[in-house]
Amino acid sequence: MQELKRRVDAIIQVVRDVATTLRPAALDLGILPGVEWLVEEFQKRSGIRCTVSVADSDIAVGEDRSIVLFRIVQESLTNVSGTRSARNVQILLDHDAERIGLTSRTTASGSTSTRRAARRPSDCWVYRSA
């Protein structure tokens, strides 16, 4: 009976992990708190300093777009963590009436060419409605 209980508990944990993976609970409070949480976790794991800047803190976006933006930031940070020379990451969220913009900029140490390549920002715009 104990073994069955342990297996059920393990299955419940797997379901919770999958649910969190599909829709992070960090987004319950909105895209900005979600990104800030993601950045804090990234800094703890990687030791790479990361800042989030927002042009206007009143960013309203639907749940599906929030997940897309969250995943883009997550992938960007994953890419940065694979760069040994990365020292600093800056994420900027901006928006207008139709779109929400995301810019990620990484500062790296090392050779001049490495620093120049690493400093090129990457931009992404997600439209508010389909």
Residues 43-92: pLDDT tens digits? Answer: 998 888 888 888 776 777 778 888 888 888 888 888 888 777 778 888 88
Cα separations (Å) of 82 from 16, 34, 85? 27, 22, 9
Q: Residue 116 pLDDT more than 50?
A: no
Residues 105 and 119: beta-carbon distance below 8 Å: yes
Tell me how far apart the alpha carbons of residues 82 and 45 are, in angstroms, rounded to a whole number: 12
Amino acid found at 49:
R
pTM: 0.67
Tell me how far apart the alpha carbons of residues 26 and 46 are, in angstroms, rounded to a whole number: 19
Report the topology of domain 29-127: Heat Shock Protein 90 (3.30.565)
